[in-house]
A and B are shown apart, each in its own frame.
Chain A
């Protein structure tokens, strides 16, 4: 099912109407927020830590060319190979060529939003190579032919019954909805793949420039399998994932695991310094790093939005966003959902298709408050809205309405006159005990009743009471 950001209004309306999905997202995001809060209470200096993370990211983005070249040279020194990809096609084709050279019929993949972004799995599939998702959530949604609905928990939108039925149908196994049994089945199924596949693909959470170390953070152990067992390991990273120094990991690992899952430390952190050396007992014989641009240098050229490249993909802004909590990840129709997705998607794909996304926010600022690297997410959304309006992407009705509103708000007499008419007009339509039907507004929610007295009248009464 291919969704695009231009479908945001219809998809989100559909998801809001689905009460089961709303309940799922509500409880899952609330749970994630509680876990995060618990783990952050153990770090009284959390705010300083965020500031430090912000400063390091700023340093790296302002010197991106320097750090990327340093990273490259250290990876080459460690015996790895580096490929720079301008866009999704270049990156996918490089991996495809590797598959061909190895004569690989399939590849094992660990969870990576970057591979989702370049649609690597579908490219490989079209060329006859089976991409095997090995993260449990990704494995499930791959079977269901879905896309991730959350950066951290891709199958968040599915119930255990749906997953049980899916396994039952796909693998012809007896139906079970017990999560432990479903997980054990997937473990056995994927273990065989890990032991026989020639190419492993992973994402990159951080890449330390000064040592040429790439870091993969996870809980399941599938990324360890993908990066250790196959003959060749390819890691793919957006070019903003570089960090200056190995020692900076102590800051970022703390920020990421606590913000993403509320863990002090995830079960596994793999730090990879290149392919196996002769004296090593195991490990891949080749290590390749793909450094992906795919629109990121375009974001970099915009001083107002450059900061969005600080993102470490923790998903905290999704969980805390009142819009995301209700509409779910799929409504956004893009790889990156939630507030940060509403900034990144228009920038990576263009405002034309994604012009609704900057409006998928109440501008409450919860995203900016929770961001572990202090990205000013909601102001970036506001700035993007300005671009939409400047490019006349808003409807003529909206522009007319805003024009009238501006004139009325500028003149106190006009304002009084306007509100007098509006109030009395609405009173005529309001029937006792009935909701007012306002097209576009009152389909899923009530229109608030008109107050008996205006603020001005109330104010007058209150001040008179005081004086008497």
Chain B
């Protein structure tokens, strides 16, 4: 607490003196503030996500089952010539044994799991520097937004913040059950999962690849973050 705090708050109170100030409401109707244009056809929610993500340069594939996910990833790695691949510990990656199964079919490729290292600050950790050299990262997601083609990731023991940031390409695997129609419903879901002692320290909304238009308004992909942003949506009932 510094002296300026008292002074600034004092100035605010003096400035607003005389104003008819009602008791601040604790809850607003923002989450219910939905319009007709927010409406998303739930039976075609995955298709909507795909269309919207394509519009912003993202790549989305709807996969009937986990086998087709493997097929897609294998041809992606071969076609793009990726050599180093990082995989998070999200349930969807661990339960489906992504690393184990891919390693069998692609023995020449290096796969690695993120791990929690203690000691030095993580910036200097091997995890960070390894991720900076990585061609492709594969993660799960917390949820997705259909009407903007957005994926949402939160910081948690299963995945770092940088795994979706440092590699050249990032691929997210999700179940279509994780797609929310719009931003308000997705934010509402995120907040409902918070407990007082269990909240994510970072929530990241990712919509398409990193981009810039700072030079003569020319749109360029891959300014600082991933050049390619991919999503695989599984129709099957999986966790």
Contact = CB atoms under 8 A, between A and B. Distances in A.
A301 interface: yes
A282 B128 contact: yes
A180 interface: yes
Contacts of B193: none
A28 B226 CA distance: 26
A16 interface: no
A273 B2 contact: no
B101 interface: no
Contact of B210 (A48, A230, A251, A268): A268
B136 to A, nearest CB: 16
Interface in A185-220: 187, 190-191, 194-196, 198, 210-211, 213, 219-220
Given A48-B35, A63-B21, A283-B155, A266 B207 contact: yes
Nearest to B17: A301
Nearest to B219: A179
Interface stretch (B6-14, B41-49, B62-70, B230-238): B6-14
B73 interface: no
B79 to A, nearest CB: 21
Contact of B11 (A211, A221, A293): A293
A264 B201 CA distance: 25
Chain A interface residue number, banded: 35 or more
Interface stretch (A4-12, A129-137, A429-437): A129-137
A68 B216 contact: no
Interface string A152-166: 011100011001000
A285 B225 CA distance: 22
Nearest to A245: B28
B61 interface: no
A270 interface: yes
A281 B127 contact: yes
B210 A219 contact: yes
Give the one of B121, B165, B211, B215 with max A CB within 10 A: B215
B205 A265 contact: yes
B188 A277 contact: no
A277 B201 contact: yes
A227 B11 CA distance: 31
Give the one of A134, A183, A263 with max B CB within 10 A: A183
Contact of A140 (B8, B11, B214): B214
A174 interface: no
B201 A273 contact: yes
Interface in A211-263: 211, 213, 219-222, 224-225, 227-231, 239, 244-251, 253-254, 261, 263
A26 interface: no
Contact of B127 (A28, A219, A282): A282
Contact of B28 (A155, A231, A244): A244
Nearest to A302: B15
B33 A273 contact: no
Nearest to B215: A179
Interface in B135-156: 145, 147-150, 155-156
A467 B147 CA distance: 63
B19 interface: yes
A44 B37 contact: yes
Interface in A284-318: 285, 291, 293, 297-298, 300-301, 303
Chain B interface residue number, banded: 35 or more
Contact of B37 (A42, A230, A248): A42
A452 to B, nearest CB: 46
Contacts of B21: 62-63
B15 A225 contact: no
Contact of B220 (A90, A183, A195, A293): A183
Contact of A229 (B9, B24, B123, B155): B123
A459 interface: no
A239 B187 contact: no
A301 B13 contact: no
A45 interface: yes
Give the one of A69, A195, A198, A221 with max B CB within 10 A: A221
A455 B116 CA distance: 83
Contacts of B4: 84-86, 90, 293
B72 interface: no
A280 interface: yes
A98 interface: no
Interface string A316-350: 00000000000000000000000000000000000
Contact of B155 (A179, A222, A276): A276
Contacts of A67: 24
A227 B184 CA distance: 24
Contact of A247 (B30, B194, B203): B30
A146 interface: no
Nearest to A252: B30
B12 to A, nearest CB: 5
A279 interface: yes
A21 interface: no
A267 B183 contact: no
B31 interface: yes
A221 B116 contact: no
Contacts of A43: 35, 37
A31 interface: yes
Interface in B104-150: 114, 116, 121-123, 127-129, 132, 145, 147-150
Given A211-B194, A244-B24, 7 more contacts: A44-B35, A159-B216, A230-B123, A239-B8, A249-B183, A269-B204, A293-B4
29 contacts: A45-B37, A69-B9, A78-B199, A84-B4, A137-B214, A179-B215, A182-B215, A183-B223, A196-B123, A198-B123, A211-B194, A221-B223, A231-B121, A248-B30, A250-B30, A251-B30, A265-B145, A265-B207, A269-B204, A270-B202, A272-B201, A272-B203, A273-B199, A280-B157, A282-B161, A297-B8, A297-B12, A300-B11, A300-B12
Q: Lowest 5 A-B CB distances belong to which pairs?
A: A221-B225, A137-B214, A220-B223, A301-B15, A281-B160
Interface of B: 2, 4-5, 7-9, 11-16, 19, 21, 24-28, 30-31, 33, 35-37, 52, 56, 114, 116, 121-123, 127-129, 132, 145, 147-150, 155-157, 159-162, 165, 182-184, 187-188, 191, 194, 199-218, 220, 222-226
